[in-house]
Structure 1
Amino acid sequence: MYTNPGTTPADQVSIPDIQTEGGVCASAGFMLAEGVDRCPIPIFVLNHEHSILHWNRALASLSGHPAEAMIGTQLQWQAFYPSARPTLADLILEGALEGDVDRFYHGKFRRSQLIEGAFEAEDFFPEIGTEGRWLFFTAAPLRNAEGHTVGAIETLQDVTEQKRAEQALRDSEKRYRLLSITDALTGLYNSRHFFSNLQSECERASRYHQPLSLLLLDADNFKQLNDTHGHLEGDHVLQALARVILLCVRSTDSAFRYGGEEFAVLLPGTSLDAATQLANRLCEMFASTPLQLSSSAVIRCTVSVGVSEYQPGEKPSAFMRRADEGIYEAKRLGRNRVVPISHRGED
């Protein structure tokens, strides 16, 4: 029986003496137990009956479960899970196959490439600490001289900070990607993303034989607005138009600013008639929205909209050209209106 200095009898751990040609080397057993207990890596050891033989200081610190409460029990699950279930070391003792391990670790494990018969896994443990911890853990069998499994050892590594750093990097990459496809003034997607999406949505509409419509919008008298009130006020008008667009479109639609005062909306699964109805609502909402200038003056602005529906197999440029023609026709007819342009057989 090995007694860890400074512990109570409940902490005492049975460590098999190391047999040598000269007999029993008790000091080697002491050194082994002391090394495990003082190891900075969290470790626990189970015997063949799944009882805890050793629960080192690092694991006690990580889990909040002291050795005296754990050694001699089969309560190893309490340090990691809200209800009783096998740990990876328990599964090793049971000779679990990969299918058995997968029942509990759901694909988040693998066989160790370094230790025969061992498994490695990684998971988040909400029960550990106040915010939960990510752990990488390895469980391996302990065998006697005849090769029979007589226990199991599990080591754990707290990889929470690494996981947080990886998530921060992913978030940063996501923000960078979003910035690269977003118009800084309005928050809508930019022109580069528009032309990329236009191509992919046309291909999808052709492949699945689904309707696809396009709105092109142009703020009316925008040059005059800029000349009269200044570019800053013009920017405010564009931002207001972007907000109205977002209020009118669905989550499946995509809105873009692809030019100075030019906007586009791609409407998957939408016919020409349905797209025209949406465009009319948008046009009316923007015209009825009072826009307050920095001078406290209140103005109202309007927008001209062209609408087209994609025809399977046609070039995206032809699809877009029809909507553009709709804008010119709306301007010619007096602005503040929607003009749909149907397919005329061009490609």
Structure 2
Amino acid sequence: MEARSTVAADGDVQLVERPSSWRDVVRKGGAVDEDVQAAARVGDRLADPTLYAALSGSSQWAPWVIFLCLAVAGVVLGRLLIRLQHGRRELAVTNADLAEANKDLALLARIDKLTGVYNRRHIEEQIDILLHAAVRDRAPLSVLMLDVDHFKAVNDIEGHEVGDRALRCMATAIRIALRPGDVFGRWGGEAFLVLLPGTAAEVAQLIGERLRSHVAATPVASDDGRRLPMTVSVGLAVADSHDVLGTLVARADAAMYRAKSAGRNRVAA
């Protein structure tokens, strides 16, 4: 209902009507409630300026109070005074809260629930964006694929809770070792992807080694308090002008399997 709307129900024809003015409703209803008169006296403003004028002799109006006259077949049965303290301000706050909540939901849709890092959907979007920027700016773009070594054995022997803990620990170890501007997310299962915009192969190799060593220095606690060593195999690929999402990730994935074949816990290109 609009702030200035007033309605009266016609009991004879089952219609909802809008009176032509509050003056008409007041005349039909006779005496005005003391609460409404008091509201006018203390300066509370009514939703219809003609009623406010009728009660207070003033033409001043503001939309924080709605006065509804309840009438059936032209007979006034009662009056409803709705106070909306600071209505517009509260509505603005509500809208701001909703906008913020929508931002939060949009972010959550791009976050991996288990590890708290970006999920595959977001990483795929970022690869497309960064590939386009690399071609446009003639800048390098490197990708690291990291996969937890012997992860299936951890799950089978220690249980899925310890396996989940291992993934969270790995994600934390990698995240704190990255530079501002690097993009990191979970690709799926025990595999993670790091996007390194503006980074050539030599520097990307050094970053891969740093990430590998950070993970190796972060053992995972078992349920009985043992410290379980954890390592990753890392594959490196550098984008060229013909790469698309699928080809770039496939090359990083192939490099990661070369690292595993060479003995795990290493970086391969």
Confirm or deny a common fold (TM above 0.5): yes
Which amino acid is the alignment partner of residue 274 of structure 1? V
- Judging changes above 3 Å, is the alpha-carbon distance between structure 1 residues 31 and 320 closer, same or farther for their aligned structure 2 residues? closer
1:315, distance to aligned residue in structure 2 (A): 2.6
Q: Deviations over 1:104-160 (max 9, x none)?
A: xxxxxxxxxxxxxxxxxxxxxxxxxxxxxxxxxxxxxxxxxxxxxxxxxxxxx8622
1:45 aligned partner = none
2:208–2:234 Cα contact (<8 Å) kept: yes
Would you say 1:314 and 2:243 are equivalent positions? yes
1:185, distance to aligned residue in structure 2 (A): 0.1
User: Where do 1:67-78 residues align within 5 Å?
Assistant: none
Provide the TM-score with structure 1 as the length reference: 0.54
Runs of at least 5 residues in structure 2 that lack an aligned partner in the other structure: 1-40, 42-52, 65-84
1:262, distance to aligned residue in structure 2 (A): 0.4
CA distance in 1, matches of 2:55, 2:91: 30
2:211 aligned partner = 282
CA distance in 1, matches of 2:162, 2:102: 33
CA distance in 2, matches of 1:252, 1:35: 61
2:58 aligned partner = 35
User: Where do 1:1-347 residues align within 5 Å?
Assistant: 34-36=57-59, 39-40=61-62, 159-340=88-269
Which amino acid is the alignment partner of residue 244 of structure 1? A
- Judging changes above 3 Å, is the alpha-carbon distance between structure 1 residues 325 and 41 closer, same or farther for their aligned structure 2 residues? closer
1:293–1:299 Cα contact (<8 Å) kept: yes
Which amino acid is the alignment partner of residue 248 of structure 1? A
CA distance in 1, matches of 2:218, 2:245: 33
1:142 aligned partner = none
1:201, distance to aligned residue in structure 2 (A): 1.2
SS at match of 2:145: strand
Q: Deviations over 1:167-198 (max 9, x none)?
A: 11112211211121111000111112222221
Moved over 3 A (4+): 30-34, 39-42
1:245, distance to aligned residue in structure 2 (A): 1.3
Aligned-residue sequence identity (percent) comes to 35
CA distance in 2, matches of 1:158, 1:248: 48
SS at match of 1:249: coil
1:234, distance to aligned residue in structure 2 (A): 0.2
1:206–1:313 Cα contact (<8 Å) kept: no
Which amino acid is the alignment partner of residue 219 of structure 1? V
- Tell me whether 240-249 or 172-181 shows the greater mean CA deviation: 172-181
Runs of at least 5 residues in structure 1 that lack an aligned partner in the other structure: 1-5, 7-29, 43-61, 63-156, 341-347
Which amino acid is the alignment partner of residue 306 of structure 1? G
CA distance in 1, matches of 2:267, 2:216: 12
Q: Which of 1 and 2 has higher RCO (CA within 8 Å, sep 6+)?
A: 2
SS at match of 1:215: strand
Which amino acid is the alignment partner of residue 316 of structure 1? L
CA distance in 2, matches of 1:159, 1:166: 10
Which amino acid is the alignment partner of residue 34 of structure 1? G
Q: Deviations over 1:304-331 (max 9, x none)?
A: 0001111123233222222112111110
CA distance in 2, matches of 1:227, 1:31: 81
2:170–2:218 Cα contact (<8 Å) kept: no
1:41, distance to aligned residue in structure 2 (A): 5.4
Which amino acid is the alignment partner of residue 194 of structure 1? I
More helix by share: 2
SS at match of 2:123: helix
RMSD of the alignment, in Å?
2.3
1:16 aligned partner = none
Give the number of equivalent residue pairs.
199
